[in-house]
Copies of this chain bind each other. A is one copy, B any other.
Amino acid sequence: MTPVSAGSGKSLSDLFVEAATQAIDDAGIDKIDSLYVGNMMSGFLQNQEHLGALMATALGRQGVPTYKVEGACASGGVAVNAGAKALLSGLEEIILVGGVEKMSGYTTPEVTTGLMMAEDRSKVASTGVTFVGLNAMIAREYMHKYSVTHESIAQFPVLCHQNALDNPRAQFRKKISVREVLESPLVADPLRLFDCSGMGDGAAALVLAPGDAARKYTDSPVKIAASTVASDTLSLHQRPELTTFQATTMASDRAYQIAGITPADVNLLEVHDAFSILGVMALEDLGFAKKGTGTKLLDEGECARDGKLPTNSFGGLKARGHPVGASGVYQISEVALQLKNEAGNCQVSRAEIGVAQSVGGIGATVATHILRRMN
């Protein structure tokens, strides 16, 4: 993983190669059978597509089959899922999956327009509503429906900033308080600046190999116990309910079933907290709290690194940063590092099973991964 930064000065290729080289070196592999690249906005922001062959060339690995996979802000998670499915095909043994996004060096309107490509241009994006505006509607409805205060929800970014203090790759290594969240500038009522993830550049990559082969490359392999993707209607107006993401429920229910576990077995969590409200909703939709009660886990300290369900232990999207097409790969890489006991100052204790949830658009695509320590 590269550090996430809004002033990296690095190109898409620079970022990708930095992360991919780390992954290749860490695994000690000398060949790659295929390359999957998750990215959302390069066509719009960099006028650059064909990232598969671009990155293969930049890595000196031209020849290998390459795939750019896009699923809006879930592109990284979806790319890992596509790679995992390819692994199951039995045709390939060593698969490199990376995610990359470069969001700095552009104006806020440019990036805002880019992010709205996740929504329907003809019916929603064209009205002028922004991504944070749509999430603000969800937050408003959630607070109203469940009588939850902004103070309670604001604990989520506070947790993430706390965790990011120990992550040298985090974009925002700065402790914040609930009061600071509530007093930060209003972006889209009720969401304030510190409810929102920032814009940053970053790339993350990981190496997938079949179970037995993986032991050749590491002493502490991590198993993908389940990898699922689900979709939902692209737009909020097409849904019966705003305060739950059915794609999260679908993807995670199926993942728990495939892995043969229940939420009670999970002891590590990375959720897609692009906005504070999404972090809270994820705790519920993933099965860790009943609807409307997600903030109770925060009240009780359960999501802290020393709690029962350490959540976003490297800082999450809010504080580690959210280079959108890369975030899903960051999350899965962070869960893997925790399970490998290689999380440095962010290390939690006794994690055996971790879940990463990656969300694209307003919950229209969700990728869920369950990782398990191989003993």
Residues of A within 8 A of B (CB): 11, 13, 34-35, 40-44, 46-54, 56-57, 62-72, 78, 81-82, 85-86, 88-91, 113, 116-122, 125, 228-235, 238, 246-247, 250, 360-361, 364-365
A79 to B, closest residue via Cβ = B67
A34 to B, closest residue via Cβ = B229
Cβ-defined contact, A229 with B117, below 8 A: no
A36 to B, closest residue via Cβ = B82
- Complex interface: chain B residues within 8 A of A13 (CB): 122
Cβ-defined contact, B118 with A361, below 8 A: no
If over half of A's interface residues share one DSSP class (helix, strand or loop), that class is named, otherwise mixed; here it is mixed
Between A and B, 19 residue pairs with Cβ closer than 8 Å are: A11-B122, A44-B49, A48-B120, A49-B70, A50-B117, A51-B70, A53-B231, A53-B361, A57-B231, A57-B234, A57-B238, A62-B234, A63-B230, A63-B232, A63-B247, A65-B228, A67-B229, A69-B69, A85-B91
Taking A52-B71, A53-B71, A53-B365 as contacts, is the C-beta distance between A66 and B117 under 8 angstroms? no
Cβ-defined contact, B11 with A63, below 8 A: no
A86 to B, closest residue via Cβ = B85
CB distance from A67 to the nearest CB of B (A): 6
- Complex interface: chain B residues within 8 A of A69 (CB): 67-70
- Complex interface: chain B residues within 8 A of A360 (CB): 50, 53
Cβ-defined contact, B89 with A85, below 8 A: yes
Q: How far is it, in angstroms, between the C-alpha of A39 and the C-alpha of B70 when the chains are bound?
A: 10
8 more A-B residue pairs beyond the given contacts A34-B229, A43-B117, A85-B86, with a C-beta to C-beta distance below 8 A: A13-B122, A47-B125, A50-B72, A57-B235, A62-B364, A63-B232, A67-B82, A88-B88
- Complex interface: chain B residues within 8 A of A53 (CB): 71-72, 231-234, 360-361, 364-365
CB distance from A221 to the nearest CB of B (A): 20
Q: How far is it, in angstroms, between the C-alpha of A91 and the C-alpha of B86 when the chains are bound?
A: 11
The one of B82, B88, B116, B125 that contacts A82, using a Cβ cutoff of 8 Å: B82
- Complex interface: chain B residues within 8 A of A63 (CB): 230-232, 246-247, 250
Cβ-defined contact, B119 with A50, below 8 A: yes
Cβ-defined contact, A43 with B44, below 8 A: yes
CB distance from A76 to the nearest CB of B (A): 13
Cβ-defined contact, B71 with A70, below 8 A: no
The one of B46, B48, B120 that contacts A54, using a Cβ cutoff of 8 Å: B120
Taking A52-B365, A72-B50, A365-B53 as contacts, is the C-beta distance between A65 and B121 under 8 angstroms? no
A239 to B, closest residue via Cβ = B62
Cβ-defined contact, A47 with B113, below 8 A: yes
